[in-house]
Amino acid sequence: MGMTIEELITFCEEEEHGCRVRCKRYDDASGFTRSKDKNIRTADAITEEVYADFYKEISDIMHKYQKIDEIYQKWNEVNDFTYNQAMQEIGKVIESEEIPND
């Protein structure tokens, strides 16, 4: 079957890290790290930075999805946890700019 939520989060975090490492290597090799001259920054470094940002965003979204799934499971398993309580908690997760605690 497919990946679990946790496996997808781990995959994205590892890919983000790899992209950031490659970006730094490209920036170091071009001299951008030292000079901060945007004219010498390579397209490869910029691409790796963009991909790293994408993987970070996917990971953040999957953390939220994971938290929403936990709330849904709690609603299904706990008799005194009402639908309204579940929706309020899910709303807080969706509206939050922060990554939920696991």
Output the pTM of the full model.
0.81
3-state helix, strand, coil in the chain (%, to 5): 80, 0, 20
Domain assignment of residue 85, yes or no: yes
Mean pLDDT by 10 residues, the chain (102 residues): 90 98 98 96 98 97 93 83 87 82 57
Report d(CA 96, CA 89) in Å as an integer.
11
Establish how many alpha carbons lie within 13 A of residue 101's alpha carbon, considering only the half-sphere containing its beta carbon.
Answer: 0
Q: Which domain holds residue 37?
A: 5-95
Taking a C-beta distance cutoff of 8 angstroms, is the pair 67, 21 a contact? no
Task: Kindly state whether residue 101 falls inside one of the protein's structural domains.
Answer: no
| DSSP 8-state symbol, 99 | P
Structural domains in the chain (count) = 1
